[in-house]
């Protein structure tokens, strides 16, 4: 399964921290991998609202359907706290 997500105004270190808390290990600055899943990160175009300019992070998730669905549900709950 493949899923892409876009987050605005969230620091990369926050995404890293949350995925590590969910069982991932850093493979490099742009990749975290866990049992049955992996996530890669890249910067997107800034998100602009009026005078406000927010950074954009694009995250590509890959993995087993069941494992990835469980991971994404838990990750989405964590991202609610980060304002993503």
pLDDT over 60 (residue 82): no
Domain extents for the chain?
2-82
Residues 73, 43: Cα–Cα separation, whole Å = 23
Of the CATH numbers 3.30.1370.80, 3.90.700.10, 3.40.50.720, 3.40.50.10210, which one belongs to the domain with range 2-82? 3.30.1370.80
* Tens digit of each residue's pLDDT (9 = 90 or more) over 22-55: 999 999 889 999 999 999 999 999 999 899 999 9
Please tell me whether the overall predicted TM-score, pTM, comes out greater than 0.85 for this model: yes
23 closest CA partner among 12, 15, 33, 13? 33
């Amino acid at each position: 399964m493949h899923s892409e997500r876009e987050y605005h105004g969230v620091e990369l270190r926050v995404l890293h921290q949350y995925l590590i808390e969910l069982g991932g290990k850093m493979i490099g600055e742009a990749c975290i991998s866990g049992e049955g899943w992996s996530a890669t990160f890249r910067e997107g175009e800034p998100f602009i609202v009026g005078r406000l300019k927010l950074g954009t992070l694009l995250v590509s998730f890959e993995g087993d359907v069941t494992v990835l669905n469980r991971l994404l549900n838990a990750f989405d709950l964590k991202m609610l706290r980060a304002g993503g």
